[in-house]
Amino acid sequence: MSSALKNLSDFTTDNLPDISDKTFAIVVSEWNTDVTHALYTGAYDTLLKYGAKEENIISAKVPGSFELSLGAQKMAQQANIDAVICLGCVIQGETRHFDFICQAVADGITNVSLKFDKPVIFGVLTPNTQEQAMDRAGGKHGNKGDEAAITAIKMLGI
Ligand SMILES: Nc1c(NC[C@H](O)[C@H](O)[C@H](O)CO)[nH]c(=O)[nH]c1=O
Ligand SMILES: CC(=O)[C@@H](O)COP(=O)(O)O
């Protein structure tokens, strides 16, 4: 279902786990930083809203979305980190580079999550245009960062 039909910031919050003692890592790509900073703010604020402590949220920047997998691994391998949220924005250009990045980071993040048996959340926008990105980073379709944070919380409840 497209984000146009289901707002990214509209989600159920029934039976969320207590996350007051949980530690979260947020790994953010520096490409399209106007978008990824908005995603970061959404994720950070959502974690606090549902009970995380500021001192238990660790943040790290990586150059681009392709590097999110390694950044996620460096966080997930730390015993004290309970969940990792990866945030990025890959905007379609003129070539197939977009396809390779998107597939690599989706596969890489999945592999890290399975390897370390921890939630590693794919909070990466893959729009065709800057406008589509902004619509999903606090615009009319909500904030992908909110969705990524609530997904991490829900996964800790399993
Ligand atoms: N074009 C975008 C990139 N490209 C950079 C790659 O992510 C990577 O850093 C580079 O290929 C070196 O390994 N990254 C994004 O996050 N968003 C883009 O639109
Ligand atoms: C997704 C990208 O890496 C993209 O910005 C590269 O643009 P292009 O495909 O026009 O080289």
Residue bearing the CA closest to ligand 2, atom 6 = 93
Residue numbers in the known binding site for (2S)-2-hydroxy-3-oxobutyl phosphate are: 94-95, 136
Question: Which ligand is nearest the CA of 28, by number?
Answer: 1
pTM, rounded to two decimals: 0.97
Rounded Cα gap, residues 63 and 71, in angstroms: 10
- Cα dihedral: 99, 106, 136, 146 (round 10): -170
Read off the pLDDT of residues 31-86 as tens digits, 9 standing for 90 and up. Answer: 999 999 999 999 999 999 999 999 999 999 999 999 999 999 999 999 999 999 99
Q: Which residues contact 59 (CB under 8 A, 6 or more apart)?
A: 25, 26, 27, 28, 40, 44
Helix (H, G, I), strand (E, B) or coil at 123: strand
The yes-or-no answer on residue 141 being catalytic is no
Q: What are phi and psi of 132, to 5 degrees?
A: -60, -40
ipTM over 0.85: yes
Q: Which domains does the chain have, with CATH numbers?
A: 27-156 (3.40.50.960)
Tell me which DSSP letter residue 54 carries.
G
Query: Residue 72's pLDDT is what?
Result: 98
Mean per-residue pLDDT, 23-37: 98
Tell me which DSSP letter residue 124 carries.
E
